[in-house]
Amino acid sequence: MAQTAPLIPRLVASSIAIANRAGEIIRNVMSKGDLGIVEKTGKNDLQTEADRSAQRCIITSLSKQFPSITIIGEEDEPSDSPVPSDWVVSEVDQDILRLECPDNLQQVSAEEVVVWVDPLDGTSEYTQGLLDHVTVLIGIAVGNRSVAGVIHQPYYNYQKENEPLGRTIWGIRGVGVGGFEPKAAPEGQRIITTTRSHSTPEVQATLDAMKPDNILRVGGAGHKVMLLIEGKAHAYVFASAGCKRWDTCAPEAILVALGGKLTDMHGKEYSYDKNTPFPNKGGVLATGKGENHEWYLEKVPEAIRKKLV
Ligand SMILES: O=P(O)(O)O[C@H]1[C@H](O)[C@@H](O)[C@H](OP(=O)(O)O)[C@@H](O)[C@H]1O
Ligand SMILES: [Mg+2]
Ligand SMILES: [Mg+2]
Ligand SMILES: [Mg+2]
């Protein structure tokens, strides 16, 4: 079966198993208690042993299984960093291989594929114990479009007894989503999710212009999109640079597979081409299925929009 399925479902099937292993590694680092925190260049921009190890697991496993694809990971890691053999995943999720693949994804070649890896999204929150903000993101692009994605939540259910710890959700444009129950956000309200640690006067002014009933300030790009697809928020609004392609590639594919949308503050979709610069300089506007994306775009103050280029 694995040999006969097209490349994109095979990549998703492998990414699910790999993201699960990365999640175990992230939990193990936390349990051992030595996070090995390094400060990177930006505000609240940290890297831990969990980010480094999870990325090694993901990139080594993906490149062994798919030697000709391009893989771009968030963390700068020496290519000869040691990778224990039990971090190299060869399992695949068999259910994904049985899915019907749409015509436009049938013939994709490995050379057209770019995989954007955020081994641990929500690192600051991880170091602060806000564990439900943490995700592992594996986004799959063909050419410049995000077409499929996997979001793993290593700490899903961590405060519940007798419930399985962690879960993995996936989405493929034109196929659908799995691993969770999609839900619409409540009618007659406007709930917006945004940054908890990178706010600016422009970010706040944009939120104010949208007159939300409630603002959910949480960490992690993956976590914020999860709030949209599980019906806890109507829009994710971040009128600032700072987010990167590996933050949005996987969430965008899952959101779009469900009928939502993710663009910059000009309404333009981001390119996920292998040569594209990493920063999402135009900000992030993501809306759930049935939301009027244009309405949110129109509310962005013009002076703020102009700065986001
Ligand atoms: O993978 P990390 O570095 O944890 O990813 C960051 C994002 O780059 C950043 O945009 C998010 O900012 P906000 O939460 O302030 O929106 C941050 O949470 C992480 O996801
Ligand atoms: Mg980071
Ligand atoms: Mg991230
Ligand atoms: Mg990260």
Give the ipTM.
0.93
Give the pLDDT of residue 1: 43
What is the best residue among 51, 52, 124 to mutate for testing ligand 1's pocket, by most ligand atoms within 8 Å of CB? Answer: 124
Residue nearest to atom 7 of ligand 1 (CA): 243
Looking at residue 272, the DSSP 8-state letter turns out to be -
User: What's the number of CA atoms in the CB half-sphere (13 Å) around residue 201?
Assistant: 3
Ramachandran class of 195: left when φ > 0, alpha when ψ lies in -120 to 50, beta otherwise: beta
Give the pLDDT of residue 119: 98
- Count, residues in the chain: 309
In tens digits, the chain (309 residues) has pLDDT values of 445 899 999 999 999 999 999 999 999 999 999 999 999 987 778 999 999 999 999 999 999 999 999 999 999 988 788 899 999 999 999 999 999 999 999 999 999 999 999 999 999 999 999 999 999 999 999 999 999 999 999 999 999 999 999 999 999 999 999 999 999 999 999 999 999 999 999 999 999 999 999 999 999 999 999 999 999 999 999 999 999 999 999 999 999 999 999 999 999 999 999 999 999 999 999 999 999 999 999 999 999 999 999
Give the pLDDT of residue 12: 98
Contact 129, 241 (CB under 8 A): no
Looking at residue 205, the DSSP 8-state letter turns out to be H
All structural domains of the chain: 7-178 (3.30.540.10), 191-307 (3.40.190.80)
pTM of the model: 0.97
Give the pLDDT of residue 102: 93
In the structure, which protein residues have their CB atom closer than 6 angstroms to any atom of ligand 1?
74, 118, 121-123, 195, 197-198, 219-221, 238, 242-244, 247
Q: Which ligand 1 atom is nearest residue 123's CA? A: 4
Between the CA atoms of 61, 91, 123 and 291, what dihedral angle is there, to the nearest 10 degrees? 110
Q: Which ligand 1 atom is nearest residue 280's CA? A: 10
Which ligand number lies closest to the CA of residue 134? 1
Residue nearest to atom 11 of ligand 1 (CA): 220
C-alpha distances in Å from residue 210, one per residue of 23, 207, 228: 36, 5, 17
Rounded to the nearest whole angstrom, what is the distance from the C-alpha of residue 121 to the centroid of ligand 1? 6
Give the pLDDT of residue 2: 45
Q: Tell me which long-range contacts 270-277 makes (C-beta under 8 A, separation of at least 24).
A: 270/146, 270/245, 271/144, 272/114, 272/116, 272/139, 272/141, 272/144, 272/145, 272/146, 272/245, 273/114, 273/141, 273/143, 273/144, 274/70, 274/72, 274/114, 276/144, 276/245
What is the best residue among 198, 224, 225, 236 to mutate for testing ligand 1's pocket, by most ligand atoms within 8 Å of CB? Answer: 198
Q: Which ligand 1 atom is nearest residue 194's CA? A: 16
Structure tokens, 61? 């496993």
What is the full DSSP assignment across 17-56?
Answer: HHHHHHHHHHHHHHHH-----EE-SSTT-EE-HHHHHHHH
Rounded to the nearest whole angstrom, what is the distance from the C-alpha of residue 184 to the centroid of ligand 1? 25
Give the pLDDT of residue 3: 54
Residue 120 is assigned to a ligand binding site: yes
Catalytic residue list: 51, 123
Residue nearest to atom 16 of ligand 1 (CA): 195
Residue nearest to atom 2 of ligand 1 (CA): 121
Residue 99 is assigned to a ligand binding site: no
